[in-house]
Structure 1
């Protein structure tokens, strides 16, 4: 089943077709890279980390209702963020889209999501949440954690957002409008710009790079991966990090082959 959402405009620059307005080119590393403006976007992508070492940027390309995405976010990403949130060691970039597809239809787009229309709805809500919080992980990540821990993430969105002190009315209006469509479209472009291309979900990048080793390390022990990648002085939170998230890391280590065969 496909859901039609209207989109405001379609943009292609003369030198490179980015399919998005220049105002959005610096929103993610993937889009900046596709549009050939990554160096010019460095200050905007990392505005608050002018320290002795850059943070490790963890990119998470995921789907709202994907079981593997839910496990990674709730059992690995969020606990790692809690440990490192005050250290400046890690920066998170989340892109809710995954294996969704979009097809141009008249003046709009049809989105089809891997886990059905409800997942498209959830992905758009989470894209609007990111936008509403100005992509501030301290504001949006606890909400996404709250949603994804729920048996029904989409139904839990209003309660999770309201409890966080954010404006549900604004986010819901975004999700029901062309603004939400634009944000979903932008997430799709960022996902399509990945190199290598996304083949499973969640798709993890470190500083814009994806390898099988990074993927495997991220899903088994993200804390150790981030701490070992960070080039600055290690904070106390990085001490004794080998399999530092505990039981989840131990459970996942033996099931990587199954994970990589997962459809997300």
Structure 2
């Protein structure tokens, strides 16, 4: 028992040390927040086929990206969390939260999350542990985070952050640029970023994008239905046969 306490204290102390806010010299960076849940195909598709592109086209250089893996989960009065697509989604939400904290470098935790969400797209999400080997990242810190209960604390933090959204989120992925939700126009997030950027040297990828953002809320958000429910009609994603 004493050994486990030592491990937990060490983990928490190093986490606080390495996750302290880093002050950027570029005050013009655009705040991009993604509120999502791990087993939602809409979320997985956005991460794999849209968000990942900004790491290749240099738009990431003008962005402060915040990933919040909680989505449509619900916090019960007794402190337990239930997830839209069942216990496995709660597991992966927490694992991804631990990844974000364990590897504060964005490029490291994003490549792990990308790997997991790519497996979700392929309906092979139960193979998520293969992402440690795939990315070359050590699983120890994530395991300690998860089994120590610290991952649950992170999810409670994300629950509060998600529930505090104004306006409240209505579905996932919920993409927010400089505090403004994009509603159903989230796939055009790059245009919104480029429009919002006030720095002197926008990435080349912004050429042709500025001015294209609709800058209007899409009224049809109320009819947005999770693709999981459309495909499977149940509370848990089924693995591909």
| TM bucket, shorter chain | 0.7 to 0.9
CA separation of 1:56 and 1:182: change in aligned 2, threshold 3 A: same
1:165 offset after TM fit, Å? 2.6
**TM-score when scaled to structure 2?**
0.74
Q: 2 CA distance for matches of 1:124 and 1:259? A: 28
- Indicate conservation of the 8 Å contact 2:94/2:152, yes or no: yes
Pick the aligned partner of 1:140 from 109, 113, 124: 109
Q: 2 CA distance for matches of 1:99 and 1:216? A: 16
Matches within 5 A, 1:1-264: 47-51=22-26, 53-84=27-58, 88-105=61-78, 109-134=79-104, 136-150=105-119, 151-152=122-123, 154-210=125-181, 214-219=182-187, 221-233=188-200, 234-241=202-209, 257=220, 261-263=224-226
Give the CA RMSD over aligned residues. 2.8
Q: 2 CA distance for matches of 1:177 and 1:237? A: 43
**TM-score when scaled to structure 1?**
0.68
1:97 offset after TM fit, Å? 0.3
Q: What secondary structure sits across from 2:76 in the alignment?
A: strand
Q: 2 CA distance for matches of 1:171 and 1:89? A: 28
CA separation of 1:153 and 1:140: change in aligned 2, threshold 3 A: farther
- Indicate conservation of the 8 Å contact 1:84/1:90, yes or no: no
Superposed CA deviations along residues 172-227 of structure 1, whole A, max 9, x for unmatched, are 232233111111111111111111111111111112232xxx233332x2222211
1:230 offset after TM fit, Å? 0.5
- Indicate conservation of the 8 Å contact 1:96/1:123, yes or no: yes
Q: 2 CA distance for matches of 1:153 and 1:123? A: 16
Q: Mark the runs of 5 or more structure 2 residues left unpaired by the alignment.
A: 1-14, 213-217, 228-241
CA separation of 1:104 and 1:154: change in aligned 2, threshold 3 A: farther
Query: As a proportion of its length, which structure holds more helix?
Result: 2
CA separation of 1:165 and 1:239: change in aligned 2, threshold 3 A: same
1:76 offset after TM fit, Å? 1.0
Q: 2 CA distance for matches of 1:198 and 1:98? A: 9
Count of equivalent residues:
203
Superposed CA deviations along residues 158-179 of structure 1, whole A, max 9, x for unmatched, are 2213332322122123223311
Q: What secondary structure sits across from 1:126 in the alignment?
A: helix
Q: Which 4+ stretches in 1 moved above 4 angstroms?
A: 255-260
Q: 1 CA distance for matches of 2:219 and 2:136? A: 38
